Structure 1
Amino acid sequence: MERQHNSVVRTPLNSVVVQRRSKSKSYRQSYRSCLGAASRLGLTPALTARRLNTSRRAPKSHNITDKVDPEQLTLLLKTEWKLSYVTPLYQFRHTQLKSYSRQLSAFIAAEKQQGLAVDAEGSQSSFRVSFSVVQGMTETADDAETVLIQIHSKPMFAKQDDPQKLVWSGWLACINGNPDYLSSLSKDFICLPLFGSSGPEVLTTLVKSWFQQMFDCCFGPLEISHTSLQWLVALWTNCHTESNIQHLRMIWTLPVTPPLQITYTVDAQDAWELWSSVRKDPEEESEGGEEVEEGGSIDLKEVMRFMQGLKNHFYRHFRLDLSAGSLQQVSTALGSAKYSGRIKISNSRYMITTLTLLTECALLKMPI
């Protein structure tokens, strides 16, 4: 282990049918009206305990390259995304994506005339928006298909035959969403709680504004919490034997004056051996005669033991207790994640595992 110190196309239909009275009603009013008495008390049936799962399935390799369009997959993998959560969309339909493309293009053009839509590299002559379904990115029948949004343009003084270039991209997804929560929604609402964006912030703002006006939804920032980052450390390390993680790099911040940032890099094999030593015996998982699925499950106690082992090793060598600080970033060859809500997924085989955790985070962050 080494150390660095830095001072530096499916729209699911649910069984609950409730007629919404008026589209002008706020999200909270309309959303709660769909969920009955529990919602009127400020609770939803599926989210009464608002915390991350304490146990989840061990990562399983998914060969999504056979199902997902190669161009879409390349974009999803090569880009660092800024995450947000988004509340359920009212009357969003996957069958209307061409219409949404035209409407969002017109909306951006109208805002551009007011001087609001300006690309980071200079004024653009026009914007072309495209919505598309990312086939093969759902895990359950309740998950709505992932939607990819791309905005192309070219500089104001570009030649007529110059191709437009991609200036902004984003997506909305629901991967392994909580089934109780999803089934509690009215059929008029589609849940795509995880939103990723890449490109000029002004275009991100315009896209969110259009969605809010069109689908009566709300967006909010989605940080990747200290606990969620620790889950990613364990989940990605668990994949090492099938997909070499190459390294485990963590950035910690200690609350001293001035703040101390520590980069802690662990050899992949060392991380794997430590992880293997804290994993439960499969026979323990099957206590009570319950059948254990292939790969087993991972519980929070194992994650905490693994993290404590990493912190103990660091303390023995450098006499610094990382428990006093907070985990800000984690990266392996499978991807990187930051507390600020930025994620980059570098390996398609475990994209579903990562997006499942992030979908759970987004659902828990949404206001009820």
Structure 2
Amino acid sequence: MEQHQKSVARTPPTSTIAQRKSKSIGYRQSYHSCLSATSRLGLTSALTVRRLNTTRRTPKSHNITDKVNPEHLSLLVKTEWQLSYVTPLYQFRHTQLRSYSRQLSAFIAAEKQQGLAVEVEGLHSSFRVLFSVVQGLSESDDDPETVLIQIHSKPLFGKQDEPQKPIWSGWLTCINGNSEYLRSLPEDFTCLPLFGSNGSEDLTSAVKSWFKQTFDCCFGPLEISNTNLQWLVALWTNCHREYDIQYLKMIWTLPVVPPLQVSYTVNSTDAWDLWNSVRQEMRAGEDEAENVNSIDIEEVIHFFEGLKNHFYRHFRLDLSGGSLNHISSALGSAKLSGRIKIAYSRYMITTLTLLTECALLKMPV
């Protein structure tokens, strides 16, 4: 199966306007010296114009079950992932995944022998790593294929013929990434800015260390800001017409002593009615096609004002001074700390598009 995936996987070619052949001026240098990085890369215009979008396309249902390997999809959906951003990978090739599997496996074994980084209680010292391409997730021609990483190990006191079991999973993706930025990268760089991991912190650190050493990249934590949590709430609520989101739950933290945590759950129909009324009110007189196909940040703001006003009328508690920390619905859940769970595959593309944008904006250059 891996050979088949390798034959059709793509690492998109990038613009040759600003080529860089020498790894000695790699991306790690630009991370440590952000102020001068743009001049070295020759990408000033593409790097400095990046801003959070104020208008987005309305979510569309994507039947990716026909395109994505069922085993891959079952892992991606329902699992809670810790997000990070990662700078472009130097000389990464989708056609070399089998070699990367061997290299990372050997790296983890070496780290464990030295007593560094890798301590997974109750598991054998041998690890098997599998890199694979998740075909069917990429949306734009500029997007590299998503890469899935799985680490397997055998229980320490398991039977000799007992198969290895997965103990860690991760992926790197770029869904509908900023085309101007992607095309401006030197040809030796592959941009997979969104990294998700599930498993022990030791193994996550080991995987990141290997990537840093092998592809001259840098990782950083990716929080999901209040604004982006609100965007997700609006996007998910907009899906209610086609798929019942069942409920909308939000957890707020208010800055009092001690801090007050407020759980606010809204019936899905009530959330949809409020969202629909905001849309109709703010887009009265506009072209119907434009009304249907886009969502504006002002609509998101007014939607949340309506939610907070409703809460205040019932409980006399103003959420405006608080921080939105956690959201969830039947489509998934997201936390300010950067943890995400996607529970329904048809709207996975919508969620990953927003998170890819967040990762690109978070990168130091």
TM-score (norm 1): 0.91
Give the aligned residue type for 1:304: I
Q: SS of the counterpart of 1:256? A: coil
How many Å apart are 1:116 and its aligned residue? 2.5
Give the aligned residue type for 1:315: Y
Find the counterpart in structure 2 of residue 189 from structure 1.
189
Give the aligned residue type for 1:354: T
> Does the 8 Å contact 1:46/1:178 carry over to 2?
no
Q: SS of the counterpart of 1:151? A: strand
Find the counterpart in structure 2 of residue 239 from structure 1.
239
How many Å apart are 1:43 and its aligned residue? 7.0
Query: C-alpha deviations, 1:97-118, integer Å up to 9, x for none?
Result: 0000000001001101012254
Does 353-362 or 123-132 show the bigger shift? 123-132
Give the aligned residue type for 1:313: H
Question: How do 1:149-188 residues align onto structure 2 when only pairs under 5 Å count?
Answer: 149-188=149-188
Distance across 2 between alignment mates of 1:138 and 1:189: 18
> Does the 8 Å contact 1:45/1:184 carry over to 2?
no
Q: Higher helix fraction: Structure 1 or Structure 2? A: 2
Q: Does 1:342 align with 2:342?
A: no
Q: How many residues align?
A: 354
> Does the 8 Å contact 1:144/1:190 carry over to 2?
yes
Find the counterpart in structure 2 of residue 306 from structure 1.
303
> Does the 8 Å contact 1:32/1:39 carry over to 2?
no
How many Å apart are 1:355 and its aligned residue? 0.2
Give the aligned residue type for 2:85: Y
Give the aligned residue type for 1:187: E
How many Å apart are 1:214 and its aligned residue? 0.5
The structure-2 alpha-carbon separation of the partners of 1:327 and 1:106, relative to structure 1 and needing over 3 Å to count, comes to same
Find the counterpart in structure 2 of residue 213 from structure 1.
213
Q: Does 1:354 align with 2:340?
A: no
How many Å apart are 1:282 and its aligned residue? 6.3
The structure-2 alpha-carbon separation of the partners of 1:32 and 1:144, relative to structure 1 and needing over 3 Å to count, comes to farther
Find the counterpart in structure 2 of residue 223 from structure 1.
223
Q: Does 1:365 align with 2:362?
A: yes
Query: C-alpha deviations, 1:269-299, integer Å up to 9, x for none?
Result: 000000000014767443xxxx946941000
The structure-2 alpha-carbon separation of the partners of 1:322 and 1:49, relative to structure 1 and needing over 3 Å to count, comes to farther
Q: SS of the counterpart of 2:109? A: helix
Find the counterpart in structure 1 of residue 27 from structure 2.
27
Q: SS of the counterpart of 2:326? A: strand
The structure-2 alpha-carbon separation of the partners of 1:189 and 1:43, relative to structure 1 and needing over 3 Å to count, comes to closer
> Does the 8 Å contact 1:98/1:131 carry over to 2?
yes
> Does the 8 Å contact 1:251/1:263 carry over to 2?
yes
Query: C-alpha deviations, 1:112-170, integer Å up to 9, x for none?
Result: 10122544433423100000000000011000000000000012222110010000000
The structure-2 alpha-carbon separation of the partners of 1:325 and 1:49, relative to structure 1 and needing over 3 Å to count, comes to farther
Distance across 2 between alignment mates of 1:55 and 1:22: 39
How many Å apart are 1:45 and its aligned residue? 1.9
Work out the percentage of aligned pairs sharing the same amino acid: 74
Question: How do 1:1-368 residues align onto structure 2 when only pairs under 5 Å count?
Answer: 9-16=9-16, 18-27=18-27, 29=29, 39=39, 44-280=44-280, 284-286=285-287, 292=289, 295-368=292-365
Does 324-333 or 38-47 show the bigger shift? 38-47
Give the aligned residue type for 1:258: P
Structure 1 gaps, min length 5: 1-8
How many Å apart are 1:39 and its aligned residue? 3.7
Q: SS of the counterpart of 2:101? A: helix
Distance across 2 between alignment mates of 1:124 and 1:284: 66
How many Å apart are 1:222 and its aligned residue? 0.1
Distance across 1 between alignment mates of 2:261 and 2:300: 23
The structure-2 alpha-carbon separation of the partners of 1:238 and 1:259, relative to structure 1 and needing over 3 Å to count, comes to same
Distance across 2 between alignment mates of 1:44 and 1:235: 32
Q: SS of the counterpart of 1:106? A: helix
> Does the 8 Å contact 2:177/2:357 carry over to 1?
yes
TM-score (norm 2): 0.92
Distance across 1 between alignment mates of 2:285 and 2:256: 42
Distance across 2 between alignment mates of 1:41 and 1:13: 17
> Does the 8 Å contact 2:274/2:303 carry over to 1?
yes
Query: C-alpha deviations, 1:61-115, integer Å up to 9, x for none?
Result: 0000000000000000021000000000001000000000000001001101012
> Does the 8 Å contact 1:285/1:296 carry over to 2?
no
Distance across 1 between alignment mates of 2:179 and 2:290: 19
Distance across 2 between alignment mates of 1:293 and 1:301: 15
Once superposed, what is the RMSD of the aligned Cα atoms? 2.3
Structure 2 gaps, min length 5: 1-8
> Does the 8 Å contact 1:57/1:296 carry over to 2?
yes
How many Å apart are 1:335 and its aligned residue? 0.2
